[in-house]
Structure 1
Amino acid sequence: MVCAAMLILDVLSPLLLLSILLPSYGCRAADIPEDATSEFSVRLYHQLQAAGEQDNIIFSPLSVAMALGMVELGARGASLEEIRQVVGFSHLLPGVEFSLLQNLTAALSDDDSHYVIRFANSLFLQEGVTFNPEFLHLVRKYFQADVETVDFSESAAVAEQINNWVENHTESKIRELLSAEDFTSATRLTLVNAVYFRGSWKNQFRPENTRTFSFSRDDGSEVQTLMMYQQGDFYYGEFSDGSQEAGGVYQVLEMPYEGEDMSMMIVLPRQEVPLASLEPIIKAPLLEEWANNVKRQKVEVYLPRFKVEQKIDLKSILQDLGIKHVFTSNADLSAMTDGKDLYIEKAVQKSYLEVTEEGAEGAVGSGMIALTRTLVLYPQVMADHPFFFVIRNRRTGSILFMGRVMTPEVIEPNDHDFDSM
């Protein structure tokens, strides 16, 4: 999967932060320090939840943290402190967060890992503008960013150049990300962060066991979807918040990717309980409680194939969370250049996740066997209604992707893959 974060700093108009995520699988977690941004991740989720009651959600906290990290390198004063406070770095000595992000990405990019994950960062600078050499040095040091000069007044050519860069770093999954209208003659700097992430389930679903099944949405409607099935060893637990706020007992299933450093954790309320009843209790400590208390056991899993895609206005969300100065003319990004006229005008993240039998896009299967709830010998996770998920590092708790599925991949009766019940 891929995340790309892009920031465009203008003297008068935008800094555009674009993140594109194609989560496809896992990474290695050896020697990575404990993640400090879990609470920030959860707060981002709750902001997105409040904005769309019945919408799917997908975003990458890691991508947001990396993009803000590059901005933070150029920030001073209140602009710097707001980012550190909101992201969760205020308890660290100044500058330590950059080493943490550097160590995280270096370890995840280990060539010996069971996964494929590549981080690529680039700075596109306006020709003729002098940037602080120390800022450029630190961006190269901590984010291994390439540096190129462009003429933003040639907006069409610049858009094409950056689009090609993003496409090359996302295995051609993200095309035509930007247009000429995204740049003006006032644009001075574009920061691009791309992350390619791919892996496979440790226990893959067999495509011949996939068939159509009814998925009940929280608005009372039903859709037909391709439901994957397997019986295997997974991490599983049943939890309750001790009240009816979360609808009583709910299930947590953790499915490792090959190598087991990375996993997808699925949180499923009871069939009759809307996901909205469970979401208010989601907090960073609870994520750790789930991870620490699920036990490995044999489980019957029914999981829909799904694609989740979302474009997010990060500017308004980050402002609501307390990052305000960098989006106004009061921004202090003077560590980037001697001038104090840079600020962030726009912040957007676009994310995409596809989950299939293999764990990545590409598997196709039409139903061959009937699914049944009878003769249940093991715990059964039937994800035929909305659920919450995270893709996380099992050693550090670092969250690569977070979201929810309110509507999975819908199959119409006349679809080629449709197999009537």
Structure 2
Amino acid sequence: MLILDVLSPLLLLSILLPGYGCRAADIPEDTTSEFSVRLYHRLQAAGGQDNIIFSPLSVAVALGMVELGARGASLEEIRQAVGFSHLLPGVEFSLLQNLTTALTDDDTHYVIRFANSLFLQEGVTFNPEFLHLMKKYFRADVETVDFSESSAVADQINNWVENHTESKIRALLSAEDFSSVTRLTLVNAVYFRGSWKNQFRPENTRTFSFSKDDGSEVQTLMMYQQGDFYYGEFSDGSQEAGGVYQVLEMPYEGEDMSMMIVLPRQEVPLASLEPIIKAPLLEEWANNVKRQKVEVYLPRFKVEQKIDLRNTLQDLGIKNIFTNDADLSAMTDGKDLYIGKAVQKAYLEVTEEGAEGAVGSGMIALTRTLVLYPQVMADHPFFFVIRNRRTGSILFMGRVMTPEVIEPSDHDFDSM
């Protein structure tokens, strides 16, 4: 989530969770891919050997809500960084509205819910046009609170977040996040739950060794299936990415949403592949994977991360809104608002069903089988995106450096 503070602090929270899928009608292509990749590289540079999970679309929506209230340099920096500068002013709001509406179509085969809310300080007058546009483009609910009652406000907002994320994100904020000078909190919650089009059978899940990039190994639950997926082998033409690497795209039910997994060779650390990831390459992968039968070994994993985005967004050129020079005067007549914090918390769980799924029992050691088809063995770190295949919207982006670890003491563990 994004948290915004102000001279009269303002909090913007953007939360995203996944689970299973969505459908897009005739809507424009998402133009924020470059912004998504730049965000990833900033997080990767600071992430060491940690897992990464964040939602580019959720960040874009949260910044869109801020942009509605921004003017001058504050407005232009957001447009430039997110990738809206080539659009006529204001068109980006319709774009975000259309993208999110398409994802939440009632006819979809999965669940994606966007929920936006404004928590306003009692007694402060906000621009009626700003409130109108927030409802129009982001369907934002509006509630008034007394931020000086910081504990009560934290509980109220945390309950709101929990209710809109199937209780996956809890205790997002604390009383310390608010004070008597807080004026506005913007909350954006996104929940995604989808089932694989081709589900893994829980009885095929086995314990398996996962080789981390630091040379150590952990035991994890490895899912297995042989099925029809979109698959391709790519090379950057040099040894930068270790030569050839694999791309596997696994659709969720309905096929509008998918998870794309990018896997370097066994002996190549993910850090060698990450520098080549660029927005045009995401498009190249999507356009060139071909449907074929593939043997897939994929670990069950759960990734949760709370990211302080303030420094990251400043590195990407969004600086003005975090200073006393911020111009958020389209929100209220005064010019004392600025953004003090920017935070996102995201959660992703991948199981046999897709997300939040079944648990296998009677685990035994799994070994590699005779290769009859292309084989994707994700027993070492990999990069992933969950995206809408029609619009290119990236719901999640991240990497798995360490999957769900099974300890030898677990009752269903058989050591290798």
SS in 1 for 2:131: helix
Number of residue pairs matched? 416
Q: What's the CA shift string for 1:191-232, capped at 9, x where partnerless?
A: 111111111000000000001000000000000000000000
Q: For the aligned residues, what is the CA RMSD?
A: 1.3
Question: Structure 1 residues 63 and 11, CA, compared in 2 at 3 Å: closer, same or farther?
Answer: closer
> 8 Å contact 1:26–1:263 — kept in the other structure?
yes
TM-score of the superposed pair, with normalisation by structure 2: 0.98
Deviation at residue 368 of structure 1 after TM alignment: 4.9
Larger mean CA deviation between 173-182 and 214-223 belongs to 173-182
Larger mean CA deviation between 103-112 and 200-209 belongs to 103-112
2:7 & 2:86 partners in 1: Cα distance? 34
Deviation at residue 420 of structure 1 after TM alignment: 2.9
Question: Structure 1 residues 219 and 13, CA, compared in 2 at 3 Å: closer, same or farther?
Answer: farther
Selected match of 2:97 from 102, 109, 116: 102
> 8 Å contact 1:305–1:356 — kept in the other structure?
yes
Question: Structure 1 residues 126 and 405, CA, compared in 2 at 3 Å: closer, same or farther?
Answer: same
Deviation at residue 119 of structure 1 after TM alignment: 1.1
Selected match of 1:390 from 376, 380, 385: 385
2:14 & 2:123 partners in 1: Cα distance? 28
2:44 & 2:5 partners in 1: Cα distance? 30
Question: Structure 1 residues 28 and 254, CA, compared in 2 at 3 Å: closer, same or farther?
Answer: same
> 8 Å contact 1:412–1:418 — kept in the other structure?
yes
Deviation at residue 261 of structure 1 after TM alignment: 0.3
Question: Structure 1 residues 126 and 234, CA, compared in 2 at 3 Å: closer, same or farther?
Answer: same
Deviation at residue 22 of structure 1 after TM alignment: 1.9
> 8 Å contact 1:17–1:349 — kept in the other structure?
no
SS in 2 for 1:346: coil
Deviation at residue 16 of structure 1 after TM alignment: 3.4
Deviation at residue 279 of structure 1 after TM alignment: 0.3
1:385 & 1:367 partners in 2: Cα distance? 24
The reply on whether 1:48 has 2:43 as its aligned counterpart is yes
Residue 281 of structure 2 aligns with which residue?
286
Question: Structure 1 residues 129 and 387, CA, compared in 2 at 3 Å: closer, same or farther?
Answer: same
Q: What's the CA shift string for 1:265-302, capped at 9, x where partnerless?
A: 00000000000000000000000000000000000000
Deviation at residue 13 of structure 1 after TM alignment: 5.9
Larger mean CA deviation between 170-179 and 352-361 belongs to 170-179
Deviation at residue 369 of structure 1 after TM alignment: 6.0
SS in 2 for 1:50: helix
Deviation at residue 170 of structure 1 after TM alignment: 1.1
Q: What's the CA shift string for 1:142-164, capped at 9, x where partnerless?
A: 00001111111111111111111
Deviation at residue 351 of structure 1 after TM alignment: 1.3
The reply on whether 1:67 has 2:62 as its aligned counterpart is yes
Runs (5+) with no aligned partner, structure 2: none
Larger mean CA deviation between 297-306 and 147-156 belongs to 147-156
SS in 1 for 2:314: helix
> 8 Å contact 2:9–2:184 — kept in the other structure?
no
> 8 Å contact 2:349–2:356 — kept in the other structure?
yes
Deviation at residue 14 of structure 1 after TM alignment: 3.9
Residue 121 of structure 1 aligns with which residue?
116
Q: What's the CA shift string for 1:98-134, capped at 9, x where partnerless?
A: 0000011111111111111111111011111110011
SS in 2 for 1:7: coil
1:20 & 1:416 partners in 2: Cα distance? 35
TM-score of the superposed pair, with normalisation by structure 1: 0.97
SS in 2 for 1:28: coil
Instruction: Give the 5 Å matches for 1:27-46.
Output: 27-46=22-41
Deviation at residue 313 of structure 1 after TM alignment: 1.1
Identity of aligned residues (%): 93
> 8 Å contact 1:14–1:187 — kept in the other structure?
yes
2:326 & 2:212 partners in 1: Cα distance? 43
Q: What's the CA shift string for 1:295-346, capped at 9, x where partnerless?
A: 0000000000001111111000000000000000000000000000100011
Deviation at residue 11 of structure 1 after TM alignment: 4.3
Q: What's the CA shift string for 1:343-401, capped at 9, x where partnerless?
A: 00111111111100000113101355653334211000000000000000011111000
2:207 & 2:5 partners in 1: Cα distance? 50
Deviation at residue 175 of structure 1 after TM alignment: 1.9
